[in-house]
A and B are shown apart, each in its own frame.
Chain A
């Protein structure tokens, strides 16, 4: 991922600067704050922008390399913007035994992308996660923060088309 060269710190988006400032005010006196601040940034943007990490490095004195070490170690943090709609298939053991693989295969063929990819129009992002802890309703998936359970491959068409229809309706307006 070769990002374009960044502008000098002082020319960066003032909103982002302010946001990092807020984040810092809240956390700077607490112990073990780095990961919590990164969580906060990701919650807001859906990923951790490189500019934000740079500003955070400057403000906290933690080297940028250390911040990236943490960001790339943990699965939860994303460095690129996700798609508009996130489709996450749970691949915990219970879901795996009950056919999560079949759900994923159906989604991959419907969306034309692989696990971990985003469609070209950036509308769908498809990924698998370890376990969302809803094993009682396996196989389960999360679509835009909403958990759906007891699914079968035939349900996938409805889910995907539902999102596509809503998107089209939005575009027509």
Chain B
């Protein structure tokens, strides 16, 4: 049965939202990364320049992160309702050119265009612009040469004026020779040779015929569900969120699904906790729904403490309304009356945007009493973390919200039975909650059609380290690490051979180069001695020392241990001393045995996840890179000194000696 009153109430709200941005606009990516690269100055500059150019300054919009962290700051431009064009590495001079050449003149700015990831197979519209890039870097960059050859060819045929040829900043395709993309259709050709230029101009540009032998037909590897709005909506505007479809899932849930229906849909989607442990979300909600209690709580865990992970920050900064909608839906499903966002204090922009989202949703009746006229009450507030990694653990997080030091408690009782202030509490990660509204509006079956075996749906990864294009990536589960690193992120920086990929941060392990073809699922990573974790993916090259990296992660866990239980407090410290002894060249094979024994003790006897998983980076490096430990043990102090110098200078061992 559908409750029509709620549906009508929501439709009325949507009608009140008004028109979206006009056909001509400029959008600036203003997340922490973008702002650090100067996006706030750009925003002000563009407003001024637009006003002078006769474009209203309301056409200069704000967005969150597009995910392309390596080419910040980003600016997207749309003229007269045409296809938007994205620009990267926009400084003051480029911004001026964007206004003069693109906004006023309708021509693309050379060298800064990021190719659209949607690639067409048909030429449904005449070609207006061609973007080119030489994606194989052997033998020098031939992009300029191709650009001018293409221009000459167009001139010969009298199309030099209508069709513009520009160099791309990034094509999203790597190691495929010269790549050519035709706008606006998005038809893309790869491995183009000089002799193909005439054919492209003659057959494709003049006669709208697609050259099948050159056509790029591979589907985009990314599949953006959680990041669907990041970069496309103004994170500080509820109107923009409503226009983009946020809160439709909530209206549907209240009007027709009911709490059990919401749980069923999430179960059908096979959604599992994206914070790392992978506990089935629908099941967790059911467990929290069951016990009878005076009050219940839901918490959004945004204490993203893994060094090297920034997806939660990007989601909160780019699309806070969807996370809030997810939290409200969680609250509805478990029967809670109140929700908390527990956010790191180190993320001030995320905090500000979530607070703004809460305030505006409350004002509009999407939060607070009698939500959308359904008679159901729910409110949300923000609580700040204070720099304690252990507070990502459920029971420690609860203690922290209660105003205590963040020490974990033994489980059971689980928070679903006895959590915040002794009441049943459900804690979900940011990414998990951001996926929920999509599942409710599009159906669990559609979500479950992505991924493989027990790991369904999509996962966001923050790919960083020695990678060519560090960025946020969202792929269906089961995509191989190799695809993520080479085909989405462009491979390794400086073309030094890759040594391994670390996943799961200080609780995870390293996947060595030879196993990069493994499809990423919760189970596969566990079998390799690592974990999914929150989704940080660090690329390490041949110059990185695994003993050093293991010590780095262990030191992190030793610093962050809350000290409550002995295995973690004492074991971690003693193990670090042994590791440092080895890395000074004074270790022995007995020390390695001792390390293994302590690892087992910590895994078995620690109270919480921090201590239980702290040995993972060490065990994993011992499993795949034991030779590096032996090199220290056998090479003694002189080897250790050389290795240290190589690391300090960022060189390989050979170069440093």
Q: Are A140 and B345 in contact, with the CB atoms below 8 A?
A: no
Given A75-B388, A102-B648, A136–B406 Cβ distance below 8 Å? no
B388 x A147 contact (CB < 8 A): no
Closest B residue to A74 by beta carbon equals B386
B401 A32 Cβ-Cβ under 8 A: yes
B306 CB–A CB distance under 8 Å: yes
Bound state CA distance, A131 and B502, in angstroms?
16
Tell me which of B127-135, B247-255, B465-473, B635-643 binds A: B465-473
Q: By the criterion CB–CB under 8 Å, are A93 and B32 in contact?
A: no
The answer, yes or no, to whether B405 is at the interface (CB within 8 Å) is yes
B36 lies within 8 A of A39 (CB): no
Given known A135-B69, A137-B36, contact A73–B313 (CB-CB < 8 A): no
Residues of A within 8 A of B49 (CB): none
A135 touches B405 (CB 8 A): no
A132 and B502 contact, CB distance less than 8 A = no
Do B383 and A93 have beta carbons less than 8 Å apart?
no
- 7 other contacts beyond A75-B386, A94-B465, with CB at 8 A cut-off? A35-B386, A39-B386, A74-B406, A76-B385, A99-B650, A105-B648, A133-B304
Is the C-beta of B538 less than 8 angstroms from some C-beta in chain A? yes
B544 at the A/B interface (Cβ < 8 Å)?
Answer: yes
Given contacts A32-B340, A133-B346, contact A140 B403 (CB under 8 A): no
Chain B nearest CB: distance from A21 CB in Å?
Answer: 19
B404 part of interface (Cβ distance < 8 Å)? yes
Say if the beta carbon of A159 comes within 8 Å of chain B: no
Q: How many Cβ-Cβ contacts under 8 Å join chain A to chain B?
A: 143
The answer to whether B552 and A93 have CB atoms under 8 Å apart is yes
Distance A133 CA – B36 CA, assembled complex (angstroms)? 11
B70 within 8 A of A: yes
- Is B310 engaged at the interface, CB distance under 8 Å to the other chain? yes
Cα distance A97–B462 in the bound complex, in angstroms: 15
Q: Are B346 and A129 in contact, with the CB atoms below 8 A?
A: yes
Q: Mark B452-484, 1 if CB is under 8 A from A, else 0.
A: 000000000010111000110000000000000
A148 at interface (Cβ–Cβ under 8 A)?
yes
List residues of A whose CB falls within 8 A of some B CB.
30-36, 38-39, 62, 66, 69-70, 73-77, 91-94, 96-99, 101-102, 105, 129-138, 140, 146-149
- B37 lies within 8 A of A93 (CB): no
Q: What CA separation (Å) do A28 and B387 show in the bound complex?
A: 24
Nearest CB of chain A from residue B45's CB, rounded to whole Å: 18
The one of B72, B387, B650 in contact with A75, judged by C-beta atoms closer than 8 angstroms, is B387
Contacts of A62 in B (CB 8 A): 403
A74 adjacent to B307 (CB under 8 Å) = no
* Residues B32 and A35 in contact, CB atoms below 8 Å apart: no
CA distance in complex: A113, B454 (Å) = 52
Q: A76-B387, A130-B305 are in contact. Are A147 and B32 (CB under 8 A)?
A: yes
B169 CB–A CB distance under 8 Å: no
Whether the Cβ atoms of A94 and B346 lie closer than 8 Å is: no
Known contacts A94-B464, A135-B308; is-contact A102 B406 (Cβ 8 Å): no
Taking a contact as CB atoms under 8 Å apart, the answer to whether A135 and B389 are in contact is no
Closest to A136 in B: B69
Q: Separation in Å of the A154 CB from the closest CB of chain B? A: 13
Q: How far is the CA of A92 from the CA of B502 in the complex (A)?
A: 13
Q: Does B625 contact A (CB under 8 A)?
A: no
Query: Are B470 and A135 interface neighbours, CB within 8 A?
Result: yes
Given A93-B552, A133-B346, A149-B36, verify A34-B403 contact (CB < 8 Å): yes
Q: Which chain A residues border B462 with CB–CB below 8 Å?
A: 135
Q: A32-B340, A91-B307 are in contact. Are A136 and B72 (CB under 8 A)?
A: yes
In the complex, B616 has a CB within 8 A of chain A? no
CB proximity to A under 8 Å, residues B327-360: 340, 345-347
How far is B344's CA from A168's CA once the two chains are assembled, in angstroms? 36
The answer to whether B346 touches A39 (Cβ under 8 A) is no
A35 to chain B: which residues have CB within 8 Å?
A: 383-384, 386, 400-401, 403
Q: Is B437 an interface position by the 8 A CB rule?
A: no
A132 contacts which chain B residues (CB < 8 A)? Answer: 32, 346
21 A-B pairs, CB-CB below 8 angstroms?
A32-B401, A35-B384, A73-B562, A74-B387, A76-B345, A76-B387, A77-B386, A91-B307, A93-B464, A94-B308, A94-B465, A94-B470, A97-B544, A102-B650, A130-B346, A131-B346, A133-B304, A134-B32, A134-B69, A138-B470, A147-B35
Closest Cβ neighbor of B304 among chain A residues: A133
Pick from A70, A130, A134, A148: contact of B389, CB under 8 Å: A130
Taking the nearest CB of chain B, how far is it from the CB of A76, in angstroms? 4
Contact across chains for B403 and A136 when beta carbons are under 8 A apart? no
Q: What residue of chain B has the Cβ atom nearest to residue A105's Cβ?
A: B648
Q: Does B381 contact A (CB under 8 A)?
A: yes
Residues of chain B within 8 A of A32, CB atoms compared: 340, 383, 401-403
- In the bound complex, what is the Cα–Cα distance between A34 and B388 (angstroms)? 16
Closest to A73 in B: B405
Q: State whether the Cβ of B615 lies closer than 8 Å to any Cβ in chain A.
A: no
Closest to B297 in A: A31
* Residue pair A149, B37 in contact (C-beta under 8 Å): yes
> Is B408 in the interface zone, CB < 8 Å from A?
no
Residues of A close to B310: CB separation below 8 A: 131, 133-136
Q: From B69, B384, B544, give the contact of A39 (CB < 8 A).
A: B384
Q: Which chain B residue shows the least CB distance to A33?
A: B403
Determine the distance from Cα of A171 to Cα of B404 in the docked complex, in whole angstroms. Answer: 44
The answer on a CB contact under 8 Å between A69 and B37 is: no
Return B461 CB to nearest CB of chain A, in Å: 11
A99 and B309 alpha carbons, distance in the complex (Å): 18
> Which A residues touch B346, using CB under 8 A?
76, 129-133
* Residues of B close to A146: CB separation below 8 A: 36
Shortest CB-to-CB span from B448 to chain A, Å, is 31
Docked Cα-Cα span, A98 to B466, in Å, equals 7
Is there contact, CB below 8 Å, between B403 and A70? yes
- Nearest CB of B to A41, in Å: 12
B536 in contact (CB, < 8 A): yes
From residue B64, how far is it (CB to closest CB) to chain A in Å?
13
**Contact across chains for A136 and B464 when beta carbons are under 8 A apart:** yes
Q: Tell me, rounded to whole Å, the shortest Cβ–Cβ distance linking A127 to chain B.
A: 11
Give the residues in chain A near B648, CB-CB below 8 Å.
101-102, 105
Residue of A nearest to B345 (CB): A76
Contact flags B489-514 to A (C-beta < 8 A → 1, else 0): 00000000000001001000000000
In the complex the two chains form, what is the Cα distance from A35 to B648 in whole Å?
39
Q: Within 8 Å CB of B402, what residues of A?
A: 32
In the docked arrangement, what's the CA distance between A105 and B464, Å?
23
8 A Cβ contacts from B542-586 to A: 544, 549, 552-553, 556, 562
| A89 nearest CB across to chain B (Å) | 13
User: In the assembled complex, which residues on chain B have CB atoms less than 8 Å from the CB atom of A137?
Assistant: 33, 36-37, 69-70, 72, 470
